[in-house]
Amino acid sequence: MNPKNLTEVQKSFTAQARNFENRNMNFSKQEYLDYTVQCMQLGPGDCVLEAAAGTCACGRSVAPFVQSVVCLDATPAMLEVGKEKAAKSGITNMQFIKGHVEEIPFENQHFDIVLTRLAFHHFTNMERPFSEMNRVLKSGGQLVIIDMEAAEEALRDIEDSIETMRDPSHEKNRSQDEFLALYEKHGYIVTKQEATIIPVSLAGWLALTNTPDNVGKEIESLMKAEIQNGNPTGFRPYLQNDEIYFEQRWVLFIGKKCRCKSRTKIPAISGAV
């Protein structure tokens, strides 16, 4: 089952791959990655899946503390960057596999921990990816989700439209309640739920996706208008040293999968890069 927006996702992230961990951006900010690792209960025997892994920043942060990490992503260029960075860091317990979260190529209850970061806003629906991550997670395991939180209801449409102008692979941001509903539906105990404000440079954000100049200027004008008391965009922009910044709210959820009887296993599918 290929995602409906697979072509857009691969096109967007192939373009972003080499600069995705640029120090001028906060998407891979080490302090936040370290904090996420601290929040998880990692063990030396754990097998971990990073789903929709991108350049595998989370997976590389987790790898020193566990037995093995599998990074699954639909865009080979992103995986190659992650693979190169892991090799430079001397990390040897990682596997990099091309695939998508809507059809994870592993058997039921294979992993002790499944995590995904900044991926759900690219999914056309939430249920299928969550169900697949749940399927491959062992009973008693942890399902960790980090993503951007949607703006208040009245501003969600304009926020998503600007996100899509900048990156056509964006689908929609979701609320904390929407994530909690999935955890509840699948019988998880949520052990952590919190939001963190991440400051983002507008110029860096647009450069990462190679946004066309005309589109970038349109987005910039919308944010300038809001700063000057115009219509709100959901981004909460502000000036810092004469440069436009805005706020993203990242939400972190950690859920423990309730123990239950295992289901029929399906065979694993090869796809290593």
Name the average pLDDT for the chain: 88
- In the chain, what percentage of residues exceed pLDDT 70? 84
State the DSSP string of 146-189. EEEBPPPGGGHHHHHHHHHHH-TT----B-HHHHHHHHHHTTEE
Give pLDDT, residue 179.
97
Give pLDDT, residue 203.
93
Kindly tell me the burial class for residue 58, based on how many C-beta atoms sit within 10 Å of its own C-beta (0-12, 13-18, 19 or more).
Answer: buried
Give pLDDT, residue 221.
98
Stretch 139-151: mean pLDDT: 97
Residue 40 banded pLDDT, cuts 50, 70, 90? very high
- Quick: pLDDT tens for 179-216: 999 999 999 999 999 999 989 999 999 988 889 999 99
- Quick: pLDDT tens for 126-139: 999 999 999 999 99
Domains within the chain, CATH numbers bracketed? 6-151+167-199+249-257 (3.40.50.150)
Under a CB-based contact definition with an 8 Å cutoff, are residues 113 and 141 in contact? Answer: yes
Residue 14 has pLDDT above 70, yes or no: no
What are the Cα distances from residue 132, in Å, to 13, 146, 184, 206? 22, 17, 16, 32
Looking at 56-60, 158-162, 224-228, which range is the least confident one?
A: 56-60
